[in-house]
């Protein structure tokens, strides 16, 4: 039986769990892929080919990059033993081992530092917080392009922020030189259809879209509306906490950061002084 694709209105309804969703003024396949995004945490063993990987990276390199500095790199990890070690460093996330490839995105100033050393010129500007921001932002923009490209091909993805839990050990595992820092991982593979990964509803647009100036006063109302909508999603996933409880618990203390409270120290130790 041919499956009928959801309408644009259906796509917005599942993104917001709103009985009266926005009516999109325009629609196309790119918008469809963006709105259908979901985190996939169960994968088939089928490989991701080198040709597909190259296409994902060309999509990543098509993302904006500040001043064309291109201060990011990515390490494709397919070796089963290495994936297992990285999964352990990331808190034992099984999908890292299960998926055929883990992409580790890095802020990379080593390439430009090497060019500067070859020419005997200073690169002091790379040591400032602004430059580090650029490296992290460039890596995120590139990775998100790769996500959209992968999902347009029917692949599944999920980001792995937990690679920042133990950054020194991740750097050692990947042999990252000074001034190359692992920002996050991205699992890519063929989704296991038995998982039925769901689209997670987001906050109402009124909570995140401000006009001309920022308005805080109405945020409680928007969050209250969201709590009602995401409660249905959480119930489907067998979860009981509210969204507010979950996000406040996530930021309640340094302990809840799972080692990422040491991030400034780790960055400085790997050649990012953050002046």
Dihedral, CA of residue 265, residue 274, residue 168 and residue 49, to nearest 10 = 150
Above pLDDT 70, what percent of the chain?
98
| ∠ Cα 165 168 170 (to 5°) | 70
Q: What is the mean pLDDT of the chain?
A: 94
Neighbours of 172 (CB within 10 A): 12
Q: What average pLDDT does the segment 18-42 reach? A: 91
pLDDT per position as a tens digit, 49-61? 999 999 999 999 9
pLDDT per position as a tens digit, 151-209? 999 999 999 999 999 999 999 999 999 999 999 999 999 999 999 888 999 999 999 99
Contact residues for 31 (Cβ-Cβ < 8 A; gap 6+): 8, 11, 24
Confidence of residue 21 (pLDDT cuts 50, 70, 90): confident
What is the secondary structure of 210-231 as a DSSP string?
-SSS---TTHHHHHHHHHHHHH
Confidence check: pLDDT of 146 > 90: yes
Choice among 7-16, 39-48, 158-167 with the minimum mean pLDDT: 7-16
Confidence check: pLDDT of 222 > 70: yes
Do 232 and 198 meet the contact criterion of CB atoms below 8 Å apart? no
Predicted local distance difference test score (pLDDT) of residue 19 = 78
CA-based nearest residue to 220, from 235, 203, 233, 232: 203
Q: Which two tokens stand for residue 30?
A: 């790119």
Predicted local distance difference test score (pLDDT) of residue 5 = 58
Confidence check: pLDDT of 77 > 90: yes
Do 270 and 179 meet the contact criterion of CB atoms below 8 Å apart? yes
pLDDT per position as a tens digit, 99-124? 999 999 999 999 999 999 999 999 99
Q: What average pLDDT does the segment 209-221 reach? A: 95
Predicted local distance difference test score (pLDDT) of residue 2 = 40
Predicted local distance difference test score (pLDDT) of residue 229 = 92
**Domain parsing of the chain, residue ranges:** 33-191+258-270, 198-241
Confidence check: pLDDT of 263 > 50: yes
- Phi then psi for residue 186, to 5 deg, are -140, 115
The residue with greater pLDDT, 1 or 125, is 125
Superfamily of domain 33-191+258-270: NADH Oxidase (3.40.109.10)
Alpha helices in the chain (DSSP H): 8-16, 29-35, 50-61, 80-89, 94-98, 110-119, 129-152, 167-174, 205-208, 219-236, 243-250, 263-269
């Amino acid at each position: 039986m041919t499956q009928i694709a959801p309408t644009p209105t259906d796509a917005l309804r599942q993104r917001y769990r709103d009985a009266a969703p926005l009516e999109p003024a325009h629609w196309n396949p790119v918008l469809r892929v963006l709105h259908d995004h979901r985190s996939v945490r169960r994968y088939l063993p089928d490989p991701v080919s080198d040709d597909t990987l190259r296409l994902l990276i060309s999509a990543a390199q098509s993302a904006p990059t500040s001043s064309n500095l291109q201060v990011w790199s990515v390490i494709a990890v397919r070796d089963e033993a290495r994936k297992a070690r990285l999964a352990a460093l990331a808190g034992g996330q099984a999908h890292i081992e299960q998926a055929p490839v883990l992409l580790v995105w890095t802020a990379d100033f080593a390439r430009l530092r090497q060019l500067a050393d070859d020419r005997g010129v200073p690169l002091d500007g790379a040591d400032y917080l602004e430059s580090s921001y650029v490296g992290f932002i460039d890596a995120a923009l590139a990775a998100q392009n790769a996500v959209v490209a992968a999902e347009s091909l029917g692949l599944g993805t999920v980001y792995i922020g937990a690679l920042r839990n133990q950054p020194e050990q991740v750097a050692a595992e990947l042999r990252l030189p000074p001034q190359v820092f692992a920002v996050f991982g991205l699992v890519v593979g063929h989704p296991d259809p038995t998982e039925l990964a769901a689209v997670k509803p987001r906050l109402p647009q009124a909570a995140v879209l401000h006009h001309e100036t920022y308005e805080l006063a109405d945020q409680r109302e928007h969050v209250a509306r969201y709590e009602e909508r995401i409660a249905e999603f959480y119930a489907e996933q067998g979860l009981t906490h509210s969204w507010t409880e979950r996000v406040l618990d996530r930021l309640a203390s340094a302990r809840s950061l799972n080692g990422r409270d040491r991030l400034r120290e780790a960055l400085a130790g790997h050649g990012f002084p953050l002046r």
